[in-house]
A and B are shown apart, each in its own frame.
Chain A
Amino acid sequence: MQTNQIRQSFYQRYREKFGHLPWYKRYEFLLPLSLFIILLGIFLPSGRPSNAIGWVLICTFIFIVLLWVVGVLTDVEKPRWLRAIAAFGLIFVFGFSFYRYSGARWDLFTKTFLNPSMMQGAWSELLLGLEMTLKLALVSMLISTVLGLIIAVLRSFKNPILEFFLIIYIDFFRAIPLIVLLVFVYYALPFLGIALDPYLAAILAVSLNYSAYVAEVFRSGIESIHRAQVEAARSLGLRSLQAMRLVILPQAVRVVVPPLTGLMVALLKDTALATIIGLPELLYKGIQTMIWKANPTPLVTVALIYLLVLLPLTRFSSYLERRSKKWVKSAR
Chain B
Amino acid sequence: MGEERQVMIETIDLHKYFKDQHVLKGISVKIYKGEVVAIIGPSGAGKSTFLRCINRLEEPSSGKIYIEGVDITSPRVDMNKIRSEIGFVFQSYNLFPHLTAIENIKLAPVHVRKIPEKEAEQKGLELLKKVGLEDKAHAYPDQLSGGQQQRVAIARALAMQPHMIFFDEPTSALDPEMIREVLDVMQNLAAEGMTMLVVSHELGFIREAATRVLVLADGCVIEEGLPRQLFNNPQHPRTKEFLSKIL
User: Which residues on A are within 8 Å of B, measured CB to CB?
Assistant: 228-229, 231-239, 242, 246-247, 250-251, 254, 330-331
Bound-complex Cα distance A254 to B98 (A):
10
A234 with B98, Cβ < 8 A, contacts A228-B90, A242-B111 known:
no
- Given the complex, which residues of B lie within 8 Å of A242, measured CB to CB? 111-112
- Given the complex, which residues of A lie within 8 Å of B95, measured CB to CB? 232
Bound-complex Cα distance A246 to B92 (A):
20
B19 on the A face (CB < 8 A) = no
Bound-complex Cα distance A234 to B97 (A):
16
- Given the complex, which residues of A lie within 8 Å of B142, measured CB to CB? 330-331
Question: Which residue from A231, A237, A251, A254 sits with its C-beta under 8 Å from B108?
Answer: A237
- The 4 A-B pairs at the shortest CB distance, nearest first, are namely A237-B84, A232-B94, A236-B108, A235-B88
Question: Which residue from A235, A254, A330 sits with its C-beta under 8 Å from B86?
Answer: A235
B39 on the A face (CB < 8 A) = no
Are B92 and A234 interface neighbours, CB within 8 A?
A: no
Are B112 and A237 interface neighbours, CB within 8 A?
A: yes
1/0 contact trace for B61-81 toward A, CB 8 Å?
A: 000000000000000000011
30 contacts between A and B (CB under 8 A): A229-B96, A231-B90, A232-B90, A232-B95, A233-B96, A234-B57, A235-B55, A235-B57, A235-B83, A235-B86, A235-B87, A236-B83, A236-B88, A236-B112, A236-B156, A236-B157, A236-B160, A237-B80, A237-B81, A237-B83, A237-B84, A237-B85, A237-B108, A237-B112, A239-B80, A246-B107, A247-B96, A247-B107, A250-B98, A331-B97
Are A238 and B98 interface neighbours, CB within 8 A?
A: no
Bound-complex Cα distance A245 to B151 (A):
25
1/0 contact trace for B94-117 toward A, CB 8 Å?
A: 111110000000011001100000
- Given the complex, which residues of A lie within 8 Å of B98, measured CB to CB? 250-251, 254
Bound-complex Cα distance A239 to B80 (A):
6
Question: Which residue from B57, B88, B111 sits with its C-beta under 8 Å from A246?
Answer: B111
- Given the complex, which residues of A lie within 8 Å of B111, measured CB to CB? 238, 242, 246
- Given the complex, which residues of A lie within 8 Å of B112, measured CB to CB? 236-238, 242
- Given the complex, which residues of B lie within 8 Å of A239, measured CB to CB? 80
Q: How many Å from the CB of B144 to the closest CB on chain A?
A: 13
Bound-complex Cα distance A235 to B167 (A):
12
Question: Which residue from B84, B94, B108, B160 sits with its C-beta under 8 Å from A228?
Answer: B94
A229 with B94, Cβ < 8 A, contacts A235-B88, A238-B111 known:
yes
Question: Which residue from B85, B87, B92, B108 sits with its C-beta under 8 Å from A238?
Answer: B108
A234 with B90, Cβ < 8 A, contacts A242-B111, A246-B111 known:
no
A228 with B81, Cβ < 8 A, contacts A237-B160, A238-B112 known:
no
- Given the complex, which residues of A lie within 8 Å of B94, measured CB to CB? 228-229, 231-232
